[in-house]
Amino acid sequence: MNATQFKKLKGSKKIIMLTCYDFSFASALEEAGVDALLVGDSLGNVVQGKETTLPVTLDQIIYHTEMVKRGAPNTFVVADMPFLSYQISVEEALRNCGLVMKETNCDAVKLEGGEEVAHLVRRLTEIGIPVMGHIGVTPQSAKLMGYGKRGKDISDAEYLKRSAKALYEAGAFSLVLENMAATLAKEITELVQIPTIGIGAGPECDGQVLVLHDFMGLTKDRPPFAKPYFDLRAELKKAVSSYKNDVEQGKL
Ligand code: KIV
Ligand code: NA
């Protein structure tokens, strides 16, 4: 599947997306039939244990995306561009996004921001790099904006709608809508002819994405909108205790 085909999923099926950071999970998730995997810079939080996504480097995203694509060669894999890899200039954005495409065999990149990054999306798309946009809560600007739900007041809702339209018109093939009012996410989904992928943005998006570790019930402090589908922490406790029994009883 290429990004143009991905775009056409809008209206034909709900898109199922999860984040992923390594080969083994990628392989299992491909087998489980997800539509797309995101190598998110949430890497900083759930893999590295950092407080924000800001410390994640381009080299780390390349390292993890390359292994995810190797584990899921037939799945649409999106690499998340880390803080400072695309904000400085169009030249740096082209070079860094291009490097990620060259080194990882991924299918697209994602970058955070609204109408103010539309010019980047246009240039990247012009040279053949598919871009997924990301608006609403954007963790790379959490020090400025926080993590609180977006689109609550009219001026913010207008900004987000303008941004969705600008990114769509600049050539973005899809948009992540993070932690925004469900009614606004629905409006945006109707406004653009590309799939919207929601996280904490209500059920009317064209697809949904969850952070893998939240989805598995591994993270201790997940956001309220991240529904766990498994209690991996509890399962690990049980498994370790039964392993302990086997070891103590000489069964291994
Ligand atoms: O980094 C990430 O995991 C993300 C998703 C939450 C959309 O950007
Ligand atoms: Na991210």
CATH of domain 3-248: 3.20.20.60
Q: Is 66 a catalytic residue?
A: no
Mean pLDDT of 126-133: 98
> What Cα–Cα distance (Å) separates residue 40 from each residue in 12, 93, 137?
25, 17, 14
Summarize pLDDT for 179-216 with one digit per residue, the tens: 999 999 999 999 999 999 999 999 999 999 999 999 99
Closest ligand (CA of 200): 1
Query: 209 CB under 6 A from ligand 1?
Result: yes
Beta carbon of 60 within 6 Å of any ligand 1 atom: no
Report pTM.
Answer: 0.98
Say which of 31, 178, 235, 248 is annotated catalytic: 178
Which sequence spans correspond to the domains of the chain?
A: 3-248
Q: Burial, 102: exposed, middle or buried (Cβ in 10 Å; 0-12, 13-18, 19+)?
A: exposed
**What pLDDT does 52 receive?**
97
What confidence tier does 169 reach under pLDDT thresholds 50, 70, 90? Answer: very high
Residue 62 CB coordination number (10 Å): 20
Under DSSP, the state recorded for 127 is T
Give the residue-averaged pLDDT of 74-95: 98
